[in-house]
Every structure is written in C-alpha cells, then in structure tokens.
Amino acid sequence: MNIIQLDAALTSDLSWEISQEKNQTFWHLDFGWEKTLLEPFNSAHFNGYLLALEEFVRRAPFAPKIILARNDGHFKKLFASSELLETRCKESGLKEEIFFAELFSEYLHRLISVLPEEVLPYILFDISSEQNFAAMVIQLCARRFEHFHFLFSDLEIPVQGSAFVGIALPQDDLYQAEMFAPVFSKLEKENISYKCIPEELLNEYWDGLEHLIVHPNLLSETGKRMLCGFEAAGGEVLSMKSKDFLSKIVKINRSRGI
C-alpha cells in the first residue's frame, strides 16, 4: 500500500509538490490533530481544514483515494477539552466512547461534503489487539462511518466488506459489548467470515449474507420487520438466545470447505 502524506495542518502553507501517481496510491492529508487538538465548534479551524481539502482536490483531480484521518480508536483524545464539549456529552445520553466516535464522524462527514463523487474518503486505523474489540465494533460501525472506507494497519474490525454471516447490532443504548464479545471470539476462532451491521441498515448491507445473527430482545420493531425481508430473500436468521446457534454456524462453515 503506497501512502503519500501531505501536511494539511492549520499552520501549513499548502505548498505541496504533487505529481500524478498510479491509481492505487493513497493520499493522506495530515491535519495535525495529534498536535492541534480538534475544537469541533470552532468554525475558523473547520474552514481551515476545508480549505486544505479543497486545495488538494483542485490540484490533484487524478487522486481517487484520500485518507482524511489516522487514528488508534481512542477518539476522545483528539478533542480539546471544554465545558461545552462536556455538556454536550452528558446531554447526548451516550456512553462517552460512542459520543466521541459520533462527534468525530460528524466532523469528517462535514469535511467530505466538498469531495467529488468519484473520490473515495478513507480512515486509516491502528487498532491494537489490547483494545476492547467488541467496544470498537459499535464505535466503527456504519451507523457512524457509513460513507467512509477503512484501512487497518493491525487488528481489523469487521464492519465492512463481504461475508456470508452477518451480526445485527442493536441501537447504541442497547448494545452490550460483553454480550457480543463471546460471539465475535467464537467466529474468529473458527475463521468464519462475518461483518457487523446496524439494525437500521440491514437491508442496505445484507447482500451476500446467508445467515444473520441477532438478539431478538434487543431489536426494534423496524429491525424485526427487516428480518422478515431478509428471510423472504432466502436468508436464515439465527437467534443468540438459541443455545446451538454458534455450533450451527461452525457446522455450516465447515461444510463449505473453508
């Protein structure tokens, strides 16, 4: 993977040397968020980042893949602490880690609004095996980062790509990492391809899925209606309340010769 990094921090004069590269090249606009912490309500800072992005698009119309952030999954440390930020976090009613993932997602989505349709926005994640895998799943799912493509330097979080098994993620306030962790662990151990999909986006991302794992007590009425559509399309729904649902998946996987 070829990555070309450009200084796009607020202090940068944007005097980049840009030459046309092959299509597989990733261009990383480094906004310097490790040094200059994000102030999400500072419009001047946002406009500065937006200017850098617009300048890059103007000067490199041939660049199809842009990395807008590199992050290790610890979103809170990206933001400058403020009383307003703490108030917004409390008012959201979300767990702190989800609130900051949501806030970062919203900020990035505002930035990519200026990108041409043919340009693909990416985030490069450096997720460590020491981190809480099940917690990262809900933070990085398509509920927040639907319009971004992911790259992983180490541990990959299964929220994108193709798979034959899907796991329906309940709403943020109902998700319990400790309940889903054993399921993820078992699937990984058996080398079973799977991806995690927010329940409200199931019908947009179930192409290719043959089996969908759900916890019926955690699904909304909308989610339950989507399950009917999945079954009508020939898919099989497996309940986490069933004692043998994991063994059934393992048996199916082995029968595929994988």
**CB proximity list for 115: less than 8 A, separation 6 or greater:** 53, 57, 66, 121
> How many angstroms separate the CA atoms of 213 and 228, rounded?
13
* Helix/strand/coil for 169: strand
Contact 140, 157 (CB under 8 A): yes
Structural domains present in the chain:
1-157 (no CATH), 161-258 (3.40.50.2300)
**CB proximity list for 79: less than 8 A, separation 6 or greater:** 37, 38, 39, 40, 85, 100, 103, 104
Burial of 47 (0-12, 13-18, 19+ CB in 10 A): exposed
> What is the pLDDT, as a whole number, of residue 62?
87
Q: What is the DSSP string of 51-114?
A: HHHHHHHHH-TT--EEEEEEE-S--GGGB---HHHHHHHHHH-S-HHHHHHHHHHHHHHHHGGG
> What is the pLDDT, as a whole number, of residue 20?
76
- Residue whose pair of structure tokens reads 């952030």 in the numeric block: 69
Instruction: Give 10-residue mean pLDDT values along the chain (258 residues).
Output: 92 90 83 93 97 95 93 95 96 95 97 93 96 96 96 95 94 94 92 94 92 92 91 92 82 70
> How many angstroms separate the CA atoms of 253 and 193, rounded?
9
Of the candidates 33, 29, 25, 22, the one whose C-alpha atom is nearest the C-alpha of residue 6 is: 29
> What is the pLDDT, as a whole number, of residue 83?
96
> How many angstroms separate the CA atoms of 94 and 227, rounded?
26
